[in-house]
Structures are given as C-alpha cells and as structure tokens.
Amino acid sequence: MNQSNPTRRAFLAASLALAASGTVLAGERSAHTLPARPFSAPAADLALVLAVDCSSSIDADEYRLQALGYAAAFRHERVRRAVLGGSGAGRIAVAQTQWGGQFAQTQAIGWTLLDSPAALDAFAGRLEAQPRLVQDDATAIGAAIDHAVKTLALCPFEATRRTIDVSGDGRNNQGRFARYARDDAVAAGIGINGLPILTDEANLASIYRAEVIGGPGAFVVPARRFSNFADAILHKLATEIA
C-alpha cells in the first residue's frame, strides 16, 4: 500500500503518538493497570449467615414476626454485649439470606460489619425493613445450606468462626438432603445452628437435631409458635455469638 495515502499517514501518526504517550498495545500490560498489592481483610470474631425460611408455609404476618424478632435481638443488650465484648476483635460480620425451594435462594442483606452500637442499630433497622424477596412452595433446607456456604465464601472479612443460622417451620421436602449439605459444610469448618418453629410439625426440633445442625457445640433453639420467635432468636444469637 502506498504510504503517501492520507489515511495511512494518519494511522501511522496516531500509532506513534500512542507509543510516545506510554500506551501499550494488546498483549502487553497497560500503564494504567494498578500493581497487585497484598490485601488484609478486617478481622471479625464471627461470620454469620442468617438463613430465613420464606417458603409458602410462612405467610406475610409470620415473615413479619421473623423480621421483627431478628431486629429486636440485634437491639438487645445481651446481643450487643456478645458482639462488642468478644475476646478477639470485638466485632462480627453478618449477612441475611432468604430461601424456599431448591432454586429459590437469595442474599437479601449483604455482608455488614457490626463493630459499634451505631452499626448494630443500623443493621437492626435494615432487618426490620427488609422486604420478603422469596416466596416458594417447597422447603429445601439442603439448598439453603449450600447457598449459605457460598455466601460465606464471599465474606470480605477474616473471621475466626463461620456459622449458619437456619430458621424454618418445616422439614426438607425438595432437592438435596439437608444432612448431606450439613456434612459438607461441617467438613469445611462451618457450624450450623437451628431455630425450628413448631407450628406445623411438633417434632421438627428432633429433625433439625438429626439432619440440620452440625459442628462443635451446634445447638437447636425451638420456638413453639411464631409469637415466641423473638425470644428464641434472642437466646440463639446471644449464645452463638458469644
């Protein structure tokens, strides 16, 4: 091609200008790429996933009682002392997931560092105002545990302990068996505690003990009915955080 062509001359001039400015061509490292640097994640005593049952057996009023119960617990002095008075960092990281059937899980509230009374108040407000994002016919506890494990893997804080807090009012009836998901989570160093709500199944606490909870010191705190949820979650959170 004749290099006297105006288009060709313009292309060559642009290429020389780019080279002179320090811009590099494909296959080379850009001058504007930030160099890799070590990243130290903030420390936390606990990374906790609140996995909230939003299957169809939970009606709107019952979901609201759960939201209010969680909010009240994080405002309570027992939980505040457990969070801020820890022997390590004196702070925890919390996220909330909502779950239903095998393919119905979502992270409703992202990872939040609770390191002061103001942070606890703000998080309680988010829990209280959090809308229901999942409503599904089935109850897939195994899938809920698997989703919570993935949520923990994305936690941006370096936690001494990792725990999943499962609340629900029914047994696993879809998807992967809960005990298999539980066993995989425990093998990865994750503890699971349970808050079964006994309105529909009187023996649900026994099912949770056998198939859902796991890890050192794992425990179940049952709520006889949704009206007892706030007291049950307060006791459960204070115990597992401390």
Number of domains the chain contains: 1
Q: Which amino acid is at 193?
A: N
Per-residue pLDDT tens for 93-103? 999 999 999 99
The pLDDT of residue 41 is 74
Q: Is residue 17 part of a domain?
A: no
Q: Is residue 3 part of a domain?
A: no
Mean pLDDT of the chain: 86
pLDDT band at 88 (very low <50, low <70, confident <90, very high): confident
pLDDT band at 42 (very low <50, low <70, confident <90, very high): confident
Q: Is residue 88 part of a domain?
A: yes
Burial of 171 (0-12, 13-18, 19+ CB in 10 A): middle
Query: Which CATH number do you get for residue 90?
Result: 3.40.50.410
Q: Going by DSSP bridges, is the β-strand pair 105-114/92-99 parallel, antiparallel, or unpaired?
A: antiparallel
pLDDT at 37 over 60: no
The pLDDT of residue 14 is 41
pLDDT at 168 over 90: yes
Percent pLDDT > 70 in the chain is: 83
CA–CA separation, 56 and 218 (whole Å): 27
Per-residue pLDDT tens for 103-162? 999 999 999 999 999 999 999 999 999 999 999 889 999 999 999 999 999 999 999 999
pLDDT at 173 over 90: yes
Q: Is residue 21 part of a domain?
A: no
Q: Is residue 111 part of a domain?
A: yes
Predicted TM-score (pTM) of this structure:
0.82
Q: Which domain holds residue 207?
A: 43-241
Q: Is residue 15 part of a domain?
A: no
Average pLDDT of span 12-35: 34
Q: Is residue 76 part of a domain?
A: yes
Q: Is residue 26 part of a domain?
A: no
